[in-house]
Structure 1
């Protein structure tokens, strides 16, 4: 495979870190972005990165100017900041479908999608994410597609709106009382560096795939929400009181999420960071 990749979501946490690794490894990268995205940090990585907006005119231009071999789709919209259902649908279904359509028209070989491990009806985000995965399956006779079911990832410098980072912020500030659910939900948390190494493993082994593929990505181990919050408190030395059971479970709460990482292991990938090591690095870097 030639080293020509188009990537979305490069201004986000995971996308930016992965873009940095791609550039370090000598890939030629086109960045598809929102018109309003701030790309100043990306330009510090390399001056001659090609940027294209996430509208049809710019996407057509990208394929006219570049021979793209692979698309890696990271961009998403969780809906945590009051976005409308139409904005969430556009980000998680309409835009990637537009990108997929033009990828097929321009003979792109591979489309790697960052999906979700959440069931269909958990929320609006998971609804449209799962609908797009069906589009990947539908068009897989024309382009090899991989739908990565990414579990909860975390790491240094992540957004404060994410669960782990939010908890670390409260603990480091020694917020007096932190109200939580019972915390009995089981989750699979994976450290950011393990996520990046898994995607690089996928790229290295991409010719082993054909058609539509579902690939779970996590640590392969589950832990209760209560356990991870208590571990954050211990690692940070916080004096905060953890008030479990004060918050009701959300509607359609997923009680257990666990990635079967056997497919990735067959490709030679294994996570290197256990939960304690990952949380320690994340807590120590928190500003």
Structure 2
């Protein structure tokens, strides 16, 4: 058993990880905001750490006697957040966590949820990439002798109960609701969609196999398969028996959008992980769970 701190614990990925890690026998602490909805924690034995000013947070983290940190908290900037709020969530929070780990002095594994997006996409990608770069450089050198930094280049995860602002969730729920029209781009971009259970399994594998990884290493986590967005939408439409009219080409492509994002899964396979769900299986399970919600 190890003691872990998880951020973003009330979110889609974070809450899924909490349930899995507790079931696996880990002792868990969760960083939460004062106004966080804690319903997902009911019945779970989790130590709640309230988010404080960053210098206070670093001190709190240093006193937790942690074996690992799983950093999933972020801000996409889709809900009217200011530039400062996005920078704080995606950069400064991570810095405070790293500082706390450094102060603790004992060996700590830091799993950071990075992004596959290029910085040119926007402020979310810029701030996420800047923290990933800081963590990699700091922990690869002598300034962080006790911290192992694993930067997870996470592809496009999806699953039941995900954030409504995400493309995958929007498409699935629109098709299930049989909305009249669904405006879309041409959908020629290729994306690596990975089901949430495979993501959780991937994080667990990285935690268990940390001794086989470099002191600072970036690891790609995805299915290794990249259909077009159009193919994804059409599969959702078919599997949900939707009557929604798909309007491909009604929305312009996002400036600076990457034509293809797909994970190289070789490193994860070396660690004993492979995706257990095909795209069709993941979509089918998501539709089933969304219908029950």
TM-score, normalised relative to structure 1: 0.95
Instruction: Tell me the number of residue pairs that the alignment of Structure 1 and Structure 2 aligns.
Output: 284
Is contact 1:5-1:30 (8 Å) kept?
A: yes
**Secondary structure of the residue that 2:260 maps to in structure 1?**
coil
Q: Which of the numbers 86, 90, 93 marks the counterpart of 2:91?
A: 93
Map Cα deviations across residues 111-168 of structure 1 (whole Å, 9 max, x no partner): 1100000011111100000000111122113121110000100111212112111111
**Secondary structure of the residue that 2:66 maps to in structure 1?**
coil
Q: Give, in whole Å, the separation in 2 of the partners of 1:212 and 1:17.
A: 25
Q: Which of the numbers 245, 249, 252 marks the counterpart of 1:241?
A: 245
5 Å-filtered alignment, 1:250-269, equals 250-269=254-273
5 Å-filtered alignment, 1:8-157, equals 8-46=7-45, 49-55=47-53, 56-64=55-63, 66-107=64-105, 108-140=107-139, 141=141, 142=144, 143-157=147-161
Following superposition, the deviation at residue 98 of structure 1 comes to: 1.2
Q: Give, in whole Å, the separation in 2 of the partners of 1:63 and 1:39.
A: 24
Is contact 2:76-2:86 (8 Å) kept?
A: yes
Is contact 2:68-2:109 (8 Å) kept?
A: yes
Which stretch shifts more, 123-132 or 156-165? 156-165
Is contact 1:43-1:49 (8 Å) kept?
A: no
Following superposition, the deviation at residue 54 of structure 1 comes to: 4.5
Q: Which of the numbers 236, 243, 249 marks the counterpart of 1:232?
A: 236
Q: Give, in whole Å, the separation in 2 of the partners of 1:22 and 1:177.
A: 41
**Secondary structure of the residue that 2:30 maps to in structure 1?**
strand
**Secondary structure of the residue that 2:25 maps to in structure 1?**
coil
Q: In the alignment, what sits opposite 2:203?
A: 199
Q: Which runs of 5+ in 1 are unaligned?
A: none
Q: Give, in whole Å, the separation in 2 of the partners of 1:114 and 1:61.
A: 21
Is contact 1:33-1:54 (8 Å) kept?
A: no
**Secondary structure of the residue that 1:49 maps to in structure 2?**
strand
Q: Give, in whole Å, the separation in 1 of the partners of 2:76 and 2:126.
A: 11
Is contact 2:62-2:103 (8 Å) kept?
A: no
Following superposition, the deviation at residue 37 of structure 1 comes to: 1.3
CA RMSD of aligned residues (A): 1.4
Map Cα deviations across residues 194-252 of structure 1 (whole Å, 9 max, x no partner): 00001111111111123210101100000000000000000010111111111101111
TM-score, normalised relative to structure 2: 0.93
